[in-house]
A and B are shown apart, each in its own frame.
Chain A
Amino acid sequence: MRLVRRLVVVAGLGLTAISLAGLPALAQKRGGTLVQITQPEPPTLGSYVSTANPVGQVASKIYDGLLEYDFDLKPLPSLAESWTVAEDGKTVTFKLRAGVKFHDGKPFTSADVQYTFMDVLKKVHPRGINTFAEVTAVETPDPQTAIFRLNRPAPYMMAALSGYESPILPKHVFSQGDIRTHQNANSPVGTGPFKFVEWRRGEFVRLDRNADYWKPGLPYLDRIVVRFIGDTGTRAAALEKGEAHIAGFGAVPYNDVKKLEKLPNIQIVTKGYEMLSPVVELMFNTKKAPFDNAKVRQAISYAIDRKFVIDNIWFGFGKPTNGPISSNFAPTGLYSADVTNYNVPDGVERANKLLDEAGFPRKADGIRFEITHDITPYGEEWRRFGEYTQQALAKIGIKANLRYEDVATWLKRIYTDYDYDVSSNHLFNLADPVLGVHRAFHSRFIRPGTVFVNGVRWSTPQTDELMDRATIEPDAKKRAALYAEVQKIVVDQAPLAWTHEISFATVLDKRYRDVIVSPLGLFSSFDRAWRE
């Protein structure tokens, strides 16, 4: 008996050896479980009503979109096999893939597309309300065709059709009852590579392989477990030990990322955030003296040592910048570097000169004027950024007193009461400037009570018009030229001082391959991810 067992073991080893030798080094393998750490636990899994970051990290595995995107932000087919945009930009026709089934076995048709866009995204999705504002109807001549009719051209819409931004929902499930409080929000049914199995609150969400996925042979993984671990140190330790395999979006603090990077089993990936592109900014209350004076705002922008901030507060995970549009848009031509450069070695001297010119000389105590700086209440690095800003302003004779409040109070102060001098924030550029950038300084977005919009209350008819033209301009070159002009003006006028682009870091276990394969990173479906 013992001999037989040993023989079996030897034979097994032999077979393994043969199979290892016989296969190419990077052949994808079926099987395995990926443990993803998401922080904090999502409040819901309904990514069609909530754009909160953790929601997208889970729901993107369950729902597909009409399109996917490559790292240059170019659209690729997904549920839509092909698409055509009419000459006038006001009709977009999608040919939908045949034979796709939802997780409950019912087929996916153009009726689901019509329902998703007209009844859900246009009505309850926080960004969809704006993105699809021009869509007047979705026509469904046959089950495999969906024709979008638009009031005016909306080229930016084509960048917002991923499974994360615009998840395609099954009409037969969600059309019954109120979509805002639908019971299937937390037992989602989609067409994606992974099916929802279980959500144990406070612990994990379990997603299992969808054997009937429409991409042949995919997904490779058997299971994705999304774990929620409240303590920062425990999250880092779980990754270090290989108990968890992926975490991004600051779930691990930057200084711990630096430490994990040195381990042999871990790699740090900074790709996969190209469709988010957060840009850090100092916000000025431009309706209030002295910040109604552009020279004062320019001076402060000159005073911020971007390299110091990135190296010592964001631990190297950032890129200095001057303008509102992220350099991730360089491949699409929308990013322009032809703007005032505030990131200069003699920034402090220039700032002092500008303040003298603006009529704020240093008084006997060396102080020109006193302001209050509201710290962004998002955590340690923002606190340090506030403390750094205080010091940087002291160098140019501005005494800044720090104020620190909870998120709700701070948001109300900045975006409703406008009762502030200077604060800081970061806005996501998202998939297109129309979606992520206009809101910061277009007059249409001066909306008391709406957060993350034009809280600086600055606009000019000229920049408004340029942005309005860029919104509906179908020609990519002309559009880029319009945005180049916008960037030049706003960077010069500095209603906000854009300091740097944040690079988020994803901590990834090296045994897992092809995980971050799209600009949506953790917000993508992981259908091609596999374990060595």
Chain B
Amino acid sequence: MTSSFWVRFLGNPRVLLGIIWLALVVIGALAAPLIAPLDPFAISGKPFVRPMDGFLFGTDSLGRSVWSGLVHGARTTLLIAIIATLAAVAFGGMLGALSGFYGGRIDNLLMRITEFFQTIPSFIFAILLVAVLSPSATSVVVAIATVSWPPIARIVRAEVMSLRSREFIQAAVTLGERDFVILFRQILPNALSPLIVTGSLLVATAILTESALSFLGLGAPNFMSWGFMIGAGRSFLRDAWWLVAIPGIAILLTVLSINLVGEGLNDALNPRLRTP
């Protein structure tokens, strides 16, 4: 990553906006116990207190602070999304690399497995997994990772296949380098940029999936999350708009920011878009 990358990346105003919002969310999530000392599940006031009336963002139907929920929810939502994405990238990347590097029968087998997972509608599959595993933080991570890895495998496979036939790889083969050394030292570093872009966008999808699962009541029951807040508040939409609007806006801005940053990364890393 040269300095020209950073100039192109940070010089993009949309990327900057995205990074600022994401930084706020990450700081909020890290500092949750300091800036929102109330337990997000604790009944700490009267129910349905309006925003700015003693509570920054009001309270929900049981009198739980929405501000606490938002900040602690950011923790859950981000943590689950990031872990699930890392798992999906690791697994999908590994499968794609093996598939693209060895080709032939291995490729055939691994890609049929990938297709099998790709043909199942991903959200329905995630619901099924969580229902079968019974809702908990682990099962939500497993479900999101399970439905997210196939595109990663596809992308990595395509990259590896194209790099596999380049001269420098041929040279490494001729020099007698072992397979995994070639794969990890030579090929993967060169396939990294599409992986980073897809991975960052995958975090956004994971946040949406986690929120949707929690909305349906299939989230981790002992962790506050944004989707859960919307799910619990939706029956009061007409009387207490803030229960749905505040976590809803948080999801919207976060997902949008990740997309902006992801696109910025893509623009900055793509050599074809480089201005001379």
Interfacial residues, chain A to chain B (CB-CB below 8 A) = 232, 253, 255-256, 259, 308, 312-313, 375, 380, 383-384, 386-388, 390-391, 394, 401-406, 409
Q: Report the bound CA distance from A301 to B232 in whole Å.
A: 26
Q: How many angstroms between the C-alpha atoms of A402 and B235 in the bound complex?
A: 22
Q: Is the CB of B185 closer than 8 A to any CB of chain A?
A: no
Spell out B's residues near A (CB within 8 Å).
Answer: 41-43, 47, 61-63, 131, 134-135, 217, 221-222, 232, 235-236, 238-239
The 18 listed contacts between A and B (C-beta, < 8 Å) are A232-B235, A259-B238, A312-B47, A312-B62, A313-B61, A380-B232, A380-B235, A383-B232, A384-B61, A384-B62, A384-B232, A387-B41, A390-B41, A404-B134, A404-B135, A404-B217, A404-B221, A405-B134
Q: Which of B41, B235, B236 sits near A391, CB closer than 8 Å?
A: B41
How far does the alpha carbon of A383 sit from the alpha carbon of B222 in the complex, in Å?
12
Once the chains bind, are B61 and A375 in contact (CB under 8 Å)?
Answer: no
CB neighbours of A394 from chain B (8 A): 42
A406 and B235 contacting across the interface, CB-CB below 8 Å = no
Residues of A close to B43: CB separation below 8 A: 308, 388, 391
Bound complex: CA A391 to CA B40 (Å): 11
User: Measured between alpha carbons, how far is A380 from B62 in the docked complex, in Å?
Assistant: 12
Report the tally of A-B residue pairs with Cβ distances under 8 A.
Answer: 47
Which of A256, A259, A308, A403 meets B134, CB within 8 Å? A403
A312-B63 contact given A391-B41, A404-B135, CB 8 Å threshold: yes
> Which chain A positions have C-beta within 8 A of B217?
383, 404
A406 to B43, CA, bound (A): 26
- The minimal Cβ–Cβ distance linking A261 to chain B, given in whole angstroms, is 13
* A402 and B222 contacting across the interface, CB-CB below 8 Å: yes
Q: Is the CB of B62 within 8 A of A388?
A: yes
| Docked-complex contact B238 and A406, CB < 8 angstroms | no
Are B62 and A387 closer than 8 Å at their CB atoms? yes
What 16 additional pairs, Cβ within 8 angstroms, besides A313-B62, A384-B61? A232-B235, A253-B235, A255-B61, A255-B239, A259-B238, A308-B43, A384-B232, A388-B62, A390-B41, A401-B222, A402-B221, A403-B221, A404-B134, A404-B135, A404-B217, A404-B221
Q: Which chain B residues lie closer than 8 Å to A386 at the CB level?
A: 221
The answer to whether B62 and A256 have CB atoms under 8 Å apart is no
Write out the residue numbers on chain A whose beta carbons fall within 8 Å of the beta carbon of B131.
406
- Residues on B with beta carbons closer than 8 Å to the beta carbon of A391: 41-43
- Return chain A residues, CB-CB under 8 Å to B239: 255, 259
* Chain A residues, CB < 8 A from B41: 387, 390-391
Residues of A near B62 (CB, < 8 A) are 312-313, 384, 387-388
A308 vs B43: C-alpha distance when bound (angstroms): 11
Question: Judging by beta carbons under 8 Å apart, are A312 and B61 in contact?
Answer: yes
Cβ–Cβ < 8 Å partners of A232 in chain B: 235
Chain B residues with CB below 8 A from A308, complex form: 43
Contact yes or no, B134 A409, CB < 8 A: yes
Residues of A within 8 A of B42 (CB): 391, 394
Least Cβ–Cβ distance between B100 and chain A, in angstroms: 40
Contacts of B232 in A (CB 8 A): 380, 383-384
B205 smallest CB distance to A (angstroms)? 24
Q: Is the CB of A256 within 8 A of B221?
A: no
Chain B residue, CB-CB nearest to A388: B62
Whether B235 lies near A255 (C-beta < 8 A) is yes
| Complex CA–CA separation, A94 to B221 (angstroms) | 55
CB nearest neighbor in B for A394: B42
Provide the residues of chain B in CB contact with A405, threshold 8 Å: 134-135
Residue of A nearest to B42 (CB): A391
Q: How far is the CA of A388 from the CA of B232 in the complex (A)?
A: 13
Listed from nearest, the 10 A-B pairs whose CB atoms lie closest are A402-B221, A404-B221, A405-B134, A312-B47, A404-B135, A391-B43, A402-B222, A253-B235, A401-B222, A312-B62
Cα(A487)–Cα(B68), bound, Å? 43
Residues of B within 8 A of A387 (CB): 41, 62
Which of chain B's residues have a CB closer than 8 A to the CB of A390?
A: 41
Chain B residues lying within 8 Å of A313, measured Cβ to Cβ, are 61-62
Query: Which residues from chain B contact A255 at a C-beta distance below 8 Å?
Result: 61, 235-236, 239
